[in-house]
């Protein structure tokens, strides 16, 4: 028994000694005890661009796709020929046709619509279709009783009967009729100031002083723009009491002060009211206070006056280059080159079959800078775009 007790005590003693001599167990370190690791540096993401990608300008894209011949053709707003009208649209890449009484005579509305559509069908870039429907003595459409029961009256008669309300109601009716027939441009209103019945231009003018004429031009041009009809302010720099340039040269010797205080006012008013749907037609009168030699239509100095002093940046067109007032400059067939050099964007002429090749030749030989063609064509296409003519054109270029 003593021996068993002694063995037990010895075993307990050995266990006690083992417990005292054993190394203590290391505890798991706490997170605070771990060495800190440096966080990797992350560059902040670039902020998204605040400038979205803009679609390409359709006018610029179309312009860049055009050949020289196409660009030059777009600068010709010509009298519709009696024959080969549809064929010439494609052959010369014409910018537009102006229809006269011969082109509307005896046609029904449907006849005229179909005829105009045949011209458009031949065009890769839609044509400007224009007409002189001033009212009074110049009525290319309403002179045909199939198209309107009576002729549109002159602004003077309308105003005398019903004031500006009658004038604007008449303008609205013209726009609706012309658009329905396929026209985009009415070469109106006449912005010339004339109060003397003896003046050549009097019957076509408003017949009142500069201030009243400016009010008339502003109101009519604004109405045409509201109706989506292209307007043409004519005949810059102002006809005054000059002779008929259809039959000869007209030399205007009035001082600049007269133009600044009178003749320019209706043009300035029309430019303000018409916005992007308004063009300006330049006459063949020689404005001696600016250029003693050249007709206004061919004078760089007169065009600079329109661009810089009046601030006009839209389409500028010549009066008809087939008129006698410019016959002396047309002998070598290059009058259209002169007109473009002067600053015109659109050439009105009957002789386009001669003039267009002359312009192309002038560019190819370096006599006429290509930038002149590009700038003029850009304005013409912009006018067409504002009139809604470029929608769906060459759909591959529209962004």
The pLDDT tens digits for 309-334 are: 999 999 999 999 988 878 787 667 78
Is pLDDT of 94 > 50?
Answer: yes
Token digits of residue 309: 């002093």
The whole-number pLDDT of residue 314 equals 97
Is pLDDT of 380 > 50?
Answer: yes
- The model's confidence at residue 33, banded by pLDDT at 50, 70 and 90, is very low
Q: What is the pLDDT of the chain when averaged over all its residues? A: 87
The whole-number pLDDT of residue 328 equals 80
Helix (H, G, I), strand (E, B) or coil at 235: strand
- What per-residue string of b and e applies to 141-164 under the rule 16 or more CB within 10 Å gives b? bbbbeebbeebbbbbbbbbeeeee
Helix (H, G, I), strand (E, B) or coil at 376: helix
75 vs 3, higher pLDDT? 75
107 contacts 68 by C-beta, under 8 angstroms: no
The whole-number pLDDT of residue 360 equals 97
Average pLDDT estimate for 262-285: 96
Is pLDDT of 269 > 90?
Answer: yes
32 vs 171, higher pLDDT? 171
Q: How far apart are CA 199 and CA 196, in angstroms?
A: 6
Helix (H, G, I), strand (E, B) or coil at 117: helix
- The model's confidence at residue 74, banded by pLDDT at 50, 70 and 90, is very high
- The model's confidence at residue 216, banded by pLDDT at 50, 70 and 90, is very high
The whole-number pLDDT of residue 26 equals 44
φ and ψ at residue 130, rounded to 5 degrees? -120, 165
């Amino acid at each position: 028994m003593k021996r068993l007790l002694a063995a037990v005590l010895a075993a307990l003693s050995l266990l006690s000694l083992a417990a005292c001599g054993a190394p203590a167990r290391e505890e798991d370190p706490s997170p605070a005890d771990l060495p800190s690791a440096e966080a990797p540096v992350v560059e902040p993401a670039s902020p998204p661009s605040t400038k979205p990608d803009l679609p390409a300008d359709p006018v610029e894209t179309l312009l860049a796709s055009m050949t020289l011949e196409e660009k030059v053709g777009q600068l010709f707003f010509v009298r519709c020929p009696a024959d080969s009208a549809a064929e010439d649209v494609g052959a010369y890449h014409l910018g537009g046709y102006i229809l006269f009484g011969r082109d509307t005579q005896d046609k029904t509305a449907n006849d005229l619509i179909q005829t105009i559509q045949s011209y458009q069908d031949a065009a890769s870039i839609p044509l400007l279709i224009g007409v002189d429907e001033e009212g009074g003595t110049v009525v290319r459409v309403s002179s045909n009783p199939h198209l309107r029961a009576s002729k549109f009256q002159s602004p003077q008669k309308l105003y005398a009967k019903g004031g500006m309300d009658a004038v604007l109601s008449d303008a609205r009716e013209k726009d609706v009729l012309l658009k329905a027939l396929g026209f985009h441009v009415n070469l109106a209103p006449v912005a010339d100031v004339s109060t003397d019945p003896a003046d050549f231009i009097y019957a076509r003018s408003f017949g009142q002083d500069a201030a009243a004429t400016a009010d008339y031009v502003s109101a009519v041009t604004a109405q045409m723009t509201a109706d989506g009809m292209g307007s043409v302010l004519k005949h810059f720099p102002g006809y005054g009491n000059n002779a008929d340039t259809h039959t000869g040269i007209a030399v205007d010797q009035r001082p600049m002060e007269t133009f600044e205080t009178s003749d320019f006012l209706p043009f300035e008013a029309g430019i303000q009211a018409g916005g992007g749907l308004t063009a300006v037609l330049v006459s063949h009168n020689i404005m001696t206070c600016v250029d003693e030699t050249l007709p206004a239509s061919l004078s760089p100095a007169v065009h600079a006056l329109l661009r810089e002093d009046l601030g006009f940046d839209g389409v500028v067109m010549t009066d008809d280059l087939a008129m006698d007032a410019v016959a002396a400059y047309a002998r070598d067939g290059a009058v259209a080159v002169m007109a473009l050099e002067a600053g015109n964007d659109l050439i009105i002429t009957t002789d386009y079959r001669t003039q267009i090749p002359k312009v192309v030749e002038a560019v190819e030989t370096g006599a006429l800078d290509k930038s002149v063609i590009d700038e003029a064509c850009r304005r013409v296409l912009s006018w067409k775009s504002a009139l809604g003519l470029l929608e769906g054109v060459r759909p591959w270029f529209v962004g």
